[in-house]
Amino acid sequence: MLAAGAAALAGCGRKPAAPAERASPAAAKVHEVTLQEVVAGDWRPAADKARDKWRHPVESLTFWGLKPGMTVVEFWPGAGWYTDVLAPYLKQTGGKLYAADLQVGDPSEPAAAEIVEAYRRKLEASPRVYGKVEIAAFGPTSGPLPPAGGADMVLFLRNVHNWMAGGFAEKAFHDAFAVLKPGGVLGVEEHRAAPGGVQDVLAGNGYVQEAYVRQLAQEAGFAFDKSSEINANPADLKDYPFGVWTLPPTRLSAPRGQPAKPGFDHSKYDAIGESDRMTLRFVKPK
């Protein structure tokens, strides 16, 4: 799924329109850009904007508490769906974005080098849009992330299931705790499994129980703050032939890694829309 997004991004040749420059962080405070303005930006692909009704970037970032001038770490940004919102917003308000991208050489992510390079090219092609995003590696054997103890916010955006599949979800939460300031926020968006029963520790169908995410966060030292139904979808039955990836935007018609099945009827899954997702906010105690 990440590789497909990166390939699509790399193939896009149009030059994004840059948001208005700010002379300095001080000038940005005089006339701050809003999240609504950034989400409407011309640099965001139309296909990404079409997904706003499912991902609610303005509402989600507001819920997590994003503010002008913050230092934010986005874990595994993929092709940059959320980076297209975070980086321009932080650039124009005197903040800073760090990307904890895939660890090249991780056997669980054989396409890591391609994905990371596509993301890097995207940022370097439009510095007036994105500013200087610092890229580090996060994976099963990666070291401490920058800025150690200096981030205001960390974001886990539909990736906890990937780290569970790779066997290093606990490390993700501990690394997030280490990179945050006391009082810093961890925001989580994740495919939500039905409550009850035993959680598949590999999250084979892509769904994760909310209680399990809370447990991982609390074991790493976080305090649960609050949850939101911003990204809920009650039409999601969570029982599909190819897991959550049967639904949009991935729309699998065969097991992951196998060729698409001709003639597969996507209509009933498309009608459901994107997955039901938990939206959680945790805080590193002061």
Q: What is the DSSP string of 35-69?
A: HHHHHT-TTS-HHHHTTHHHH-HHHHHHHHT--TT
| Residue 29, pLDDT above cutoff 60 | no
- Among 67-81, 96-110, 146-160, the minimum mean pLDDT is found in 96-110
Chain-centre distance of CA 145, in angstroms? 17
The answer to whether 153 and 86 have CB atoms below 8 angstroms apart is no
Burial 146-173 (b: 16+ CB within 10 A, else e): eeeeebbbbbbbbbbbbbbbbebbebbb
Residue 178: closest CA among 154, 210, 214? 154
Distance CA 32, CA 138 (A): 32
Q: How many CB atoms lie within 10 A of CB 43?
A: 20
| Residue 216, pLDDT above cutoff 60 | yes
DSSP letter for 133, please: -
Q: In the numeric block, which tokens belong to residue 175? A: 């690394």
Give the pLDDT confidence of 36-50 residue by residue, as tens digits: 999 999 999 999 999
| Residue 6, pLDDT above cutoff 80 | no
Question: Would you give the end-to-end CA distance of the chain in angstroms?
Answer: 37
Q: Is 226 exposed, middle or buried (0-12, 13-18, 19+ CB in 10 A)?
A: exposed
| Residue 184, pLDDT above cutoff 70 | yes
Chain-centre distance of CA 123, in angstroms? 16
| Residue 137, pLDDT above cutoff 60 | yes
The strand ranges marked E within the chain are 71-75, 96-102, 134-138, 151-157, 180-191, 223-228, 277-283
Distance CA 72, CA 66 (A): 9
- In degrees and rounded to multiples of 5, residue 277 shows phi and psi of -130, 140
Arithmetic mean of pLDDT, 66-91: 98
Q: How many CB atoms lie within 10 A of CB 279?
A: 22
Confidence tier at 12 by pLDDT (50, 70, 90): very low
- What domains lie within the chain, and their CATH numbers? 32-237+276-283 (3.40.50.150)
The fraction of the chain above a pLDDT of 70, given in percent, is 89
Helix or strand holding residue 274 (H, E)? none
* Contacts of residue 46, Cβ cutoff 8 Å, sequence gap at least 6: none
| pLDDT given for residue 148 in this prediction | 96
| Residue 4, pLDDT above cutoff 70 | no
| pLDDT given for residue 194 in this prediction | 96
| pLDDT given for residue 37 in this prediction | 97
